[in-house]
Amino acid sequence: MEWFTERYNGSGLEIKVVRKIAEARSIQHIEVYETEFFGKMLVIDGKIQLTELDEVFYHEMIVHVPMMMHEAPRKVLVIGGGDGGTLREVLKHEVDEVVLVEIDRAVIDLSREYLKIDQGAFEDERVRIVIEDGLKYVERCEDRFDVIIVDSTDPVGVSDPLFDEKFFKNASKICDIICCQAQSPIVQKHLFIKLWKNAKAFEKRRVYLSYIPTYPLGYWAFIVAGQVDKFFEERFGKLKGKVKHYNPELHRAAFALPEWLKREIDVSG
């Protein structure tokens, strides 16, 4: 294969591939490629999960935005995120404990062996890995977390229940802030809106946007809910130098929504 292609709604992103490095068939079909321009690339069930070139755009924005909105995030739950990128970013904060609940061990195994974007995060003594369905984990969880980050695949296949109302209701009982990747507001508007509605289980919810070149049409939504009024910007001093993309200006900018999206959200209720 010379070009890997991912298509959605009459458009497609092509990535020039040098070779396939690894492949596994667990409950999902996992592939790791070497690409010409984007470095290594992780694909699950035919969908690009990350490339080395732009994974920081995604991981830094899904992690640092909610973490910087919490006064003192010591205990964090990551759902999904088997590649380790989210874990790596969470560990840049002064956390005591991070639980990573990934449904598919093969994602972790392949990522650790071939991608290495976790940069040792999986070995960190503050980290506990649980191989389980995130929905079930949250349902019977008796622990409490400062921040939950839902770094899932698209809501088809194994990640589908993670976008349900029930999940948000259960999550609202065990955390102060939740942050979810919320799909493309353009080509996957119905999924974004579904997630937005279900996040009502939390008293307050906000949408923010980030540019992620290798995701469908490149514009990505995130929903952050719970205690989401504050921004502890002064803590950026400790992050600066460790981040490549995120900064406080970008944090604030991410919450600026275009007129058409504000309207979509207003209408959806």
Cβ of residue 99: shortest distance to a copy of itself, in angstroms? 29
Cβ of residue 108: shortest distance to a copy of itself, in angstroms? 27
* Using rule CB under 8 A, residue 10 touches a copy of itself: yes
* Using rule CB under 8 A, residue 15 touches a copy of itself: yes
CB 124 within 8 A of CB 93: no
* Site stretch for a copy of itself (CB under 8 A), options 14-22, 104-112, 129-137, 191-199: 14-22
* Site stretch for a copy of itself (CB under 8 A), options 145-153, 192-200, 224-232, 241-249: 241-249
CA distances from 236 to 89, 152, 241, 246, 251 (A): 13, 26, 10, 10, 11
Pairing, β 219-226 against β 205-211: antiparallel
Q: CA 145, CA 74: separation in Å to the nearest integer?
A: 8
**Binding-site member from 68, 179, 199, 254 for a copy of itself (CB under 8 A):** 254
Active-site residue identified among 104, 118, 133, 151: 151
Establish whether 151 is a catalytic residue: yes
**Binding-site member from 218, 227, 232, 264 for a copy of itself (CB under 8 A):** 218
Q: CA 89, CA 100: separation in Å to the nearest integer?
A: 13
Q: CA 74, CA 97: separation in Å to the nearest integer?
A: 7
Residue in the structure block whose two tokens are 């070149």: 213
Cβ closest to a copy of itself, residue 51 vs residue 153: 51
Q: CA 58, CA 181: separation in Å to the nearest integer?
A: 9
**Binding-site member from 186, 195, 224, 265 for a copy of itself (CB under 8 A):** 186
Residue list 30-59, contact with a copy of itself (CB under 8 A): 35-38, 57
Q: CA 181, CA 163: separation in Å to the nearest integer?
A: 10
* Using rule CB under 8 A, residue 27 touches a copy of itself: no
Collect all residues with Cβ–Cβ distance below 8 Å to 196 and sequence separation of at least 6.
182, 205, 207, 223, 265, 268
Query: Which tokens is 244 given?
Result: 């490549």
Burial grade of 13 (CB within 10 A; 0-12, 13-18, 19 or more)? middle
CB 204 within 8 A of CB 225: yes
The identity of residue 120, as a single letter, is G
Cβ closest to a copy of itself, residue 24 vs residue 257: 257
* Using rule CB under 8 A, residue 238 touches a copy of itself: no
**Binding-site member from 21, 24, 129, 243 for a copy of itself (CB under 8 A):** 243
* Using rule CB under 8 A, residue 250 touches a copy of itself: yes
Residues of this chain that bind a copy of itself (CB under 8 A):
3, 5, 7, 9-16, 35-38, 57, 186-187, 209, 211, 213, 217-219, 243-247, 249-250, 252-260, 262
Q: Which residues are catalytic?
A: 151
